[in-house]
Structure 1
Amino acid sequence: MLRLLRSRPNLFSLASRVHAARGVAESAGPQPHFIQVHRVNIRRKWFRPRNIIIAGCIYYVCYRVYKASVLGTLGAWVDEQEKELTTSEREELEEELLEPLFIPLPFTTKAVPSPPYRYSDPEWKTFVRVSKNKDQMRAIQGSLAEIVRKMAVATPELTQRCGRDMKLGRYWLDIQYPPRPPPTFVRKGICIDSDSIYVGEQPVDSLVVFRTQRALWPSALTVSLWSFSEALMKQNALYIAKLFGLEPTPSPPLQQAVDRIQQKWKKPSTSFPSASTQTATDDGDGGGGGSTTDAEPPAEKQPPAPDAGAGGALPLPPGAEPGKPKGVRDIYIIRHTQEHTSGAWQAFKQTFAQTWRPIRDLPPRGSIYVSGLVEVTTSRCFLTIDAAAFWDPKTENFDMKTATFRLRTLRLRTQTAAR
């Protein structure tokens, strides 16, 4: 308590004493100094009985809290759901629990070709029945042609160019009966049973296989990125060659067109819409004739732009509002990068549109293949569309997941020569 009441030493007196001691040491002459270095190895005791006991108590308390709050609630909910199960659902659940656990192995998926149809197969009997029924065959062909017409009407690009008054014209559709069902896919994996662990095979959905292949081998994206890189490298090479004066001289017409475009962009746009033409007819004593004048309103004087130097505001980007803060697109680096990669990005989109194909599943077993040409007529033009789809006898409908439609030709009804 008395130490708190003790006055603190004066810093100036302490500094004077240090300087005085240093002066005495210098007057006494140089003295040898011996520096001894001692290596100290600090060992920390990791395993202490007290820490182990405290950690064990904390873990036990956390486990009890988790078990009571989470596992207890889930257990009560499962018990309530189990009481509401019917006898059939309970049997299905028991069968699923008895099935062995399957852990698939990567890169072990393979396609297994299916055996051809036999005379005794129900699918082949359906093929024979459909082939003998001419009315049903014509109904199948007409149904696919009508689907093609509806798909054409639902396409905005075609309706904008050809009109919405699309009618079904002629169609040439062929019906084919596949000799064998589509292949199946299997993959290997580790099967864990109640008695043993072994390596087995299990069938897998074909759509899952196709999506996995698309994710592992994105060919369309790879080719598009290659086109992007190629176009960007060519653009940079031409720019470097232009800096060194090695740019190839274009043809005179092309050079003139480029010069006109550059002059058009460099010329400031100062044109305004002219005022409406006014006709004044003087019927007074002067007897003057009518006069027509085109008057333009005088341009308002704009305030001088603020200086971007010291103390002045930075110039706003084109198209930006004065009171609105600049966005990310208004930054110079981002805008310059977008302009520099615009040509390469256009090449990327063009290649991607040419190589991208949607993922299509295999048709159902026992389906009938229908393919050919369908003509759709409008008041402006004729459309010829390639169509291919599988007709499922079980549902008596076309499987739209595997259907493909592609525009083959577009012919105008009236063609005029250039003047």
Structure 2
Amino acid sequence: MADLMQDHLNLDQPGADRVEGRWFGVGSSTDSDGFTAGAQATAAAVADRPDAGLVLVFAREYMDMTALIEGVRAHAGPATKIAGCSTVEPMATSGEPADFSVSVVAFGGDGFGYEIAVGRDVPGNERAAGGEAASGLALLDHPHKVLLLFVDALLDDNVEIVRGAYGTAGAAVPLIGGVASDNWQFERTCQFAGDSNGVEILSGTVVGVAIGSPAPVGLGVAHGWRRSGDPMVVTDSEGLKVFEFDNEPAMDVFLGRMGLDRSVLEGSDSFRLRALECPLGVATRSGDEIRVIQGLDPSDGSVLVSAGIPQGGLAWVMEGDVESLVAGATASCADAVRTLGDATPIGLLTFDCAVRRRELGPVGVHREIAEIGRAFPGIPFGGFYSYGEIARYRGANGMHHLTMVSLAFA
């Protein structure tokens, strides 16, 4: 029999909003049948509470997505908007995360507002597509707004997509979300957009979910990686390429820090995964931002990184272990809750990195989930492990990697 986890945060529980009647629920299922998994997880998230307005669905890439969505619709309610994406692994409040086939986050009650928009025809029009995905914000009249973004992993320039969304949303509206993932194949990811009358199962798109609330929302960003060794000065860089560290070819300096040489690049893809686990940290005013090593080019000795590093900047090879990465996840949630001020959180959205998940392993993931639950008892949380995390507020950089981003609702 399928394992079914549900997390209740109802109006009788401390922290629930009795005045507005808003609620936030999380459900998950381990069933491999798409319809059953979608139905079970959605029923658990909604838990017979009234006025389910939004359901977010995060499903493993191997699921029958058509059947899954039909199961979700069967329990979502007659006026529920539905969005989400595929993932290498869903996140949910408790249980055995490695066994989850789907997690569902549901919002409901009076006071919330929701709009879903899709950016299509993205290649070559990344900024415009990001702006289109953010267009639903204009339809909401709430004192607090947030934009969730779910982006196809196979699109080339996610930074431009986030810039486009930010240009439409403005500096006062936080952006958060993740890049849809598959099981490390980088072949196809799915995005979901629609309502209880019908849901599109898309690829190659940007799905934007605008949420309005009468109460504050809080954004948290943390990663848990730490500096290893001496800093490297970026002495030559352009765009996403770093050509020199400390006036030496960047590729050779990076390989040397890892105890390797150029022979590791010959005839094997294993180095790519190894490099993902040895990111660079770039010193910024808000702390160390992570840059993933996406490739090495022997023809010019350069290193291709996930976001630009300005010439003259300082970078470190970063390292982490289960202890530090779990602490990073908890710190992200703590930052989000702290940003609410005196307001009491009713739930957390969590978008974690798939590479962090690889580093944690099954035991570490279970500990991560348990530690968040221990730090915030009675507060449900859910989301997914992504190929890139989105968090932008008041001008901060929007694309992150190997990071946990979280969003608290009051």
| TM-score grouping bracket, smaller chain normalisation | under 0.3
Structure with the higher fraction of residues in strand conformation: 2
Bigger Rg, structure 1 or 2: 1
Could you tell me the TM-score, scaled by structure 2's length? 0.16
